[in-house]
Amino acid sequence: MLNKIIILVFINALFSYSIFNHIRDFKIPSLNYVGSSNFNNNFYNFSNPACNMGTNDYIYSSIGKHFNGVLNNEQIIFSLNTEKFNQLNIAVLKSSIDDIYNTTNAWIDDGDGIVDINEIDYNKINTFNHTNLGVIISKPFIIKKLNFGINSKFSIGSVLGENSFKHAFDLGYYKSNNNFNFGILIKDLLSYSYWTSNTINHEKMSIIFGSNFNYKSLFFSYDYNIINSEYYLGLEYQYNNDISFQLSNSSFEKIYLGAMINLSNFNIGYYFVLPKYEELGTTQKIMIGINKNIFKKLKG
């Protein structure tokens, strides 16, 4: 089993890891895919902000344990009705890898440049956390009857005393035609990370085409990133609009299994992922959604 710091490097190198990737964690078409929208289930689509034209009264909270619990992730998702911008969709995210061993000051070299067990001072080995906090502000809008949307993404990161600030945009387009939906996403536009070490990192932009169509109670989804040839395939079965099951895979996932239960004022979801790279370990997550109107009923 790889240790935590190697897993962190592995994730970044292979998948250009970003805290905002977790917004895609539930592979439900109405929540996740670039060409998908389904307002009846009261989900959000932060992957493509153009898909969020409907009013949403739900607040979602989720907790995830990624890669055998190495990476922790929490989310809160909700909407705000504003006088100037009408509805804004907000996601507040946190991810962290805790208790990573720091051996920076533990090796006392005798001058030969070779690490020897007698040169290691174990009392100088301590631990540190790698933490990211992120916010997405998402706004859909209509231009000449065409559906567009924009995400503005902010994140703050810290690792070994260094801090970073990141900002990027997502631009989306969405078209619905009966049972077939189509979307285009320009992801991570003008994406820059500024570190306190005076380092500036630029993240590569992605262009993703997505489609979703349904036949009776089955929903099929396909997204394709033309920049890095990454793909997402999804299949969902909805039973009486109350229970849904998801099965999918991608260039990262070997098997994705998910389930969602929709009650009158609550939604409960769970998913389990087996990655293609066994070293990363399994991922699990649970999500709970609450209708905001239930609080008004309680007051009344």
Contact assessment for residue 13 and residue 7, using Cβ atoms and an 8 Å cutoff: no
Residue from 211, 204, 213 nearest 186 by CA: 204
Per DSSP, what are the bridge partners of residue 139?
A: 150
Q: What is the per-residue pLDDT for 138?
A: 93
Q: What average pLDDT score do residues 245-272 get?
A: 86
Q: What is the per-residue pLDDT for 83?
A: 78
Residue 205: pLDDT over 70: yes
Q: pTM for the complete prediction? A: 0.84
Per DSSP, what are the bridge partners of residue 69?
A: none
Q: How far is CA 167 from CA 47, 78, 153, 199, in A?
A: 16, 20, 5, 15
Q: What is the per-residue pLDDT for 13?
A: 46
Q: What is the per-residue pLDDT for 63?
A: 92
Q: Give the chain's end-to-end CA distance (angstroms, integer).
A: 54
Q: What is the 8-class DSSP label of residue 1?
A: -
Q: Is the model more confident about 297 or about 188? A: 188
Q: What average pLDDT score do residues 68-93 get?
A: 87
Mean predicted lDDT score pLDDT of the chain: 82
| Boundaries of every domain in the chain | 4-266+275-299
Q: What is the per-residue pLDDT for 185?
A: 94
User: How far apart are alpha carbons 208 and 174 in whole angstroms?
Assistant: 12
Q: What is the per-residue pLDDT for 2?
A: 44
Q: What is the per-residue pLDDT for 10?
A: 54
Among the ranges given (3-7, 97-101, 243-247), the one the predictor scored with the smallest mean pLDDT: 3-7
Confidence of residue 129 (pLDDT cuts 50, 70, 90): confident
Confidence of residue 1 (pLDDT cuts 50, 70, 90): very low
Q: What is the per-residue pLDDT for 157?
A: 87
The percent of residues in the chain predicted with pLDDT above 90, rounded, is: 26
Residue 168: pLDDT over 80: yes
Residue 5: pLDDT over 50: yes
User: How far apart are alpha carbons 74 and 124 in whole angstroms?
Assistant: 32
Tens of pLDDT, residue by residue over 88-106, are 999 999 988 877 777 777 7
Q: What average pLDDT score do residues 148-171 get?
A: 90
User: How far apart are alpha carbons 182 and 45 in whole angstroms?
Assistant: 14
The percent of residues in the chain predicted with pLDDT above 70, rounded, is: 86
Q: What is the per-residue pLDDT for 37?
A: 66
CA dihedral 196, 22, 5, 163 (to 10 degrees): 10
Q: Count H helices and E strands in the chain, helices first.
A: 2, 15
